[in-house]
Amino acid sequence: MVAKRGVVWLRCINDIKEKLKSVLSEERFDHSLRVADQSVILARRFGADARKAETAGVLHDCARDLSFGEALNEANNFGIILDNVTKNSPGIIHAVIGEALARFEYNINDHDILDAIRYHTTGRKGMSMLEKIVFIADYTEPSRDFQGAAGARDILEQSLDRAVLYAMENTIAYLLEKRMLIHLDTIDARNHYLAH
């Protein structure tokens, strides 16, 4: 029975990857595979479900290649009410739409996976283990070379929470410097992990 479930899951994840390959740019698809791989590694290290990690990791950017206008349209189609920051931030809206696409186009109904997709960019207070894993896998996958990725990798050797906090603080500083909107979920999460 376990073996049969394994076969079914393998077919599912392969179907997901095939579909993703057809809608994402090559670069984005490759990034998604790396985040999936990194998520599996971290799930094994920190004791999360590796299959959920792979699924959330590979799907996290499933809406990232929509234009901003398309993403806004999808929000409207799905009846999603966007907050003021999300509806003005291409870098955030894709995570919200990604959750909806995962649910309705990739038939994911596992809330752990959906939440990990939804919060992979902003984070939030009280993230689940899987949310933290996909968040930090996206930040640290091997091809990431922005300032902060190497530091986050080092800290990740010691602590998942501290790596998440470090990535959030770097992201806030970056958004502040670039004069981009900062999502309240990120500040709320940063305050939370700073105090705990």
Binding site for its own copies (CB under 8 A): 84-85, 88, 169, 172-173, 176, 179, 181-182, 184, 187-188, 190-192, 194-195
Residue 101 structure tokens: 């696409």
Name the residue nearer to its own copies (CB basis): 23 or 180. 180
How far is Cα 118 from Cα 95, in angstroms, rounded to an integer? 5
Name the residue nearer to its own copies (CB basis): 92 or 117. 92
Name the residue nearer to its own copies (CB basis): 80 or 175. 175
How far is Cα 176 from Cα 182, in angstroms, rounded to an integer? 8
Looking at this protein, which amino acid is placed at residue 127?
Answer: M
Which among 123, 112, 135 has a CA at the least distance from the CA of 52? Answer: 112
Q: At closest approach, how far in Å is the CB of 147 from its own copies?
A: 15
SS3 80: coil
Q: At closest approach, how far in Å is the CB of 95 from its own copies?
A: 18
Name the residue nearer to its own copies (CB basis): 4 or 196. 196
CB distance 98 to 62 below 8 Å: yes
Q: At closest approach, how far in Å is the CB of 196 from its own copies?
A: 11
Q: Which residue has the tokens 């901003």?
A: 68
Q: At closest approach, how far in Å is the CB of 189 from its own copies?
A: 11
SS3 47: coil
Name the residue nearer to its own copies (CB basis): 35 or 152. 152
Which among 127, 128, 162, 156 has a CA at the least distance from the CA of 142? Answer: 156
Displacement of CA 9 from its chain's centroid (Å): 20
Q: At closest approach, how far in Å is the CB of 84 from its own copies?
A: 7
Name the residue nearer to its own copies (CB basis): 72 or 85. 85
Q: At closest approach, how far in Å is the CB of 192 from its own copies?
A: 8
CB distance 68 to 88 below 8 Å: no
